Amino acid sequence: MSSTPTASRRPPMLATSEALSRLLDAARRVEGRERVATLDAQNRVLAADVTSPLDVPPMHTSSMDGYAVRAADLAGATESAPVALPVSQRIPAGHAAEPLAAGTAARIFTGATVPPGADTVVMQEMAQVSDDRRVAFAQTPAAGEWITRQGADIRRDSVILPAGTRLTPQALGLAASVGCAQLDVVRRVRVAIFFTGDELRMPGEPLEPGAIYNSNRFTLSALLAKLGCDVTDLGIVPDRLDATRETLRRAAIDHDLILTCGGVSVGEEDHVKPAVEAEGRISMWQIAMKPGKPLAFGAVRRGASVSEAYFIGLPGNPVSSFCTFLLFVRPFLLRLAGGENVAPRVYSMRADFSQKKGDRRNEFLRARVNESGGLDLFENQSSAVLTSTVWGDGLIDNPPNHAISEGEIVRFIPFSELMR
Domain ranges across the chain = 12-32+187-336, 46-56+153-186, 61-148, 347-418
User: What per-residue confidence (pLDDT) applies to 2?
Assistant: 42
- Is residue 161 helix, strand or coil? strand
CB 56 within 8 A of CB 203: no
The model's pTM: 0.86
Q: How far apart are CA 207 and CA 137, in angstroms?
A: 81
- The fold of the 12-32+187-336 domain, in CATH, is Molybdenum Cofactor Biosythetic Enzyme; Chain A (3.40.980)
Lowest mean pLDDT among 105-109, 135-139, 179-183, 303-307: 303-307
| Mean pLDDT for the stretch of residues 312-332 | 96
Q: Does residue 3 have a pLDDT over 60?
A: no
**CATH 3.30.565.10 for domain 46-56+153-186:** no
Does 61-148 match 347-418 in CATH topology? Answer: no
User: What per-residue confidence (pLDDT) applies to 267?
Assistant: 53
User: What per-residue confidence (pLDDT) applies to 197?
Assistant: 86
User: What per-residue confidence (pLDDT) applies to 265?
Assistant: 62
| Mean pLDDT for the stretch of residues 390-411 | 98
Phi, psi of 174 (to 5 degrees): -65, -45
Q: How far apart are CA 363 and CA 148, in angstroms?
A: 51
Superfamily grouping for domain 61-148? Molybdopterin biosynthesis moea protein, domain 3. (2.170.190.11)
- Element (DSSP H or E) covering residue 247: helix 241-253
User: What per-residue confidence (pLDDT) applies to 262?
Assistant: 87
- Element (DSSP H or E) covering residue 391: helix 387-391
Q: Considering the chain, what percentage of its residues have pLDDT values greater than 70?
A: 96
Tell me how far CA of residue 178 lies from CA of 3, 262, 293, in angstroms.
70, 48, 48
205: CB partners within 8 A, 6+ apart: none
Neighbours of 293 (CB within 10 A): 18
- Is residue 352 helix, strand or coil? coil
| Mean pLDDT for the stretch of residues 16-38 | 96
User: What per-residue confidence (pLDDT) applies to 7?
Assistant: 43
Task: Give the residues across from 396 on adjacent strands.
Answer: 365, 412
277: CB partners within 8 A, 6+ apart: 298
- Per-residue pLDDT reduced to its tens digit, 188-240: 999 999 999 889 999 999 999 999 999 999 999 999 999 999 999 999 999 89
Neighbours of 331 (CB within 10 A): 20
| Mean pLDDT for the stretch of residues 10-30 | 92
- Element (DSSP H or E) covering residue 418: helix 415-418
Pairing, β 409-414 against β 394-398: antiparallel
| Mean pLDDT for the stretch of residues 294-304 | 91
Q: Does residue 5 have a pLDDT over 50?
A: no
Helices (H) and strands (E) in the chain, counts: 9, 26
| Mean pLDDT for the stretch of residues 3-32 | 81
Q: What is the CATH number of domain 347-418?
A: 2.40.340.10
- Element (DSSP H or E) covering residue 319: helix 318-324
In this structure, is the dihedral angle defined by the CA atoms of residues 245, 246, 251 and 254, taken in order, positive or negative?
positive
What torsion do the CA atoms of 294, 23, 256, 269 make, to the nearest 10 degrees?
A: -10
User: What per-residue confidence (pLDDT) applies to 294?
Assistant: 87
- Per-residue pLDDT reduced to its tens digit, 96-141: 999 999 999 999 999 999 999 999 999 999 999 987 789 999 999 9
CB 73 within 8 A of CB 211: no
Tell me how far CA of residue 160 lies from CA of 114, 148, 156, 293, in angstroms.
25, 19, 10, 41
Q: Does residue 146 have a pLDDT over 60?
A: yes
